[in-house]
Amino acid sequence: MKNISEDILFAKSVLDKGNLVAIPTETVYGLAANAFKEDAVDKIYKLKDRPKNNPLIIHCHSIEQIEKYVKEIPKDAYELAKQFWPGPLTILLKKNNLIPDFVTAGSEYAAFRIPNHPITLELLKSIDYPLVAPSANPSNRVSPTKAIHVYDYFKETIDFILDGGDCIEGIESTIVHFDDGTPKILRPGSVTFQQLFYVTPSIEMNQEIQDIPQAPGMSKKHYSPITPFITIEKIDLKKIIKYQFEYPKIALITQKKDFISVKNIDVFSLSEKGDLNQIATNLYDTLITLDSKKYDLIITELAPEVGVGIAINNRLKRANNI
């Protein structure tokens, strides 16, 4: 496929012209553009069919670069940044006038992160502007964790895909907001509440779903396959079999290896022994793969509500579409 490679210099040339590049991160692939060019950013909204009231995450290569674009970094935010950047943490900070309003959907706060991927960090260091980069998928579809996922979504309509291999985290970044001085988790992600609490004990969990998102990834419906999809608290074969009256062929996703043998129910395990990090890494790839197999229904077992399991369940529950 001619528009997929590891060529960082070519990726830079595409971005410099105001065009789009899919970039790898440790979480998911992002659809990147020059954050200072309104026409480039507008291409992201159009290609993704993303509502203009949904703000974008700004990707930078260092804390020093981010300091140029904000009014201040609160002490607790700085402590989190030192601990988790580069990494899967996004922090909302009061922006200065260098960050355009079209990036933040008019908000005075901008979402920043430093991705922990060597290829993308090298790209970010080679350019003199930050990148906005929401997940590289059509709005409300499952986020891509492989370059081929991005290609399958957009084919030749995307200018270039910078191939950085498979994403190792598999779940989008945790988003933390500093507003009234108390840090709040707006979206759970790969950095867990326990990890954040260890650095900043005043942190609170706030997963309010809003009609107008306060931060990226907070819309009511997100991360959903096209195939009818539901979640269940635990495996209940009697209940699952009842679904076959309406949905004859079912894909059942379990959190650990489960030897279930029922006609027309195919079982897919995200982890041999229920390892939450492995589940997170495999989740989106499994959903995207099964979505292409023409099942009548996908049923997914929820993860234990601990650690990154909180973020996994956040995504799964918002993917329900029946």
Cβ atoms of 167 and 283 within 8 Å: the answer is no
105-160 pLDDT, tens digit per residue, is: 999 999 999 999 999 999 999 999 999 999 999 999 999 999 999 999 999 899 99
Please give the model's pTM, rounded to 2 decimal places. Answer: 0.94
268-288 pLDDT, tens digit per residue, is: 999 999 999 999 999 999 999
Domain boundaries, the chain: 4-205, 229-319
50-100 pLDDT, tens digit per residue, is: 999 999 999 999 999 999 999 999 999 999 999 999 999 999 999 999 999
Report pLDDT for 210: 53
Decide if pLDDT at 183 tops 60: yes
What are the distances in angstroms from CA 158 to CA 11, 133, 149?
Answer: 12, 14, 12
Assign domain 229-319 one CATH number from 3.40.50.720, 3.40.50.2000, 3.40.50.11030, 3.50.50.60: 3.40.50.11030
Decide if pLDDT at 1 tops 70: no
For 228, counting Cβ atoms within 10 Å of its Cβ (0-12 exposed, 13-18 middle, 19+ buried), the class is: middle
Tokens 């129910």 correspond to what residue?
Answer: 265
What are the distances in angstroms from CA 199 to CA 77, 87, 138, 196, 269?
Answer: 10, 15, 35, 5, 34
Decide if pLDDT at 236 tops 90: no
Structure confidence at residue 219 as a pLDDT band (50, 70, 90): low
d(CA 250, CA 244): 7
Assign domain 4-205 one CATH number from 1.20.1050.10, 3.90.470.10, 3.40.50.2020, 3.90.870.10: 3.90.870.10
Report pLDDT for 322: 86
- Residues above pLDDT 90, as percent of the chain: 84
What are φ and ψ of residue 187, in 5° steps?
-140, 120
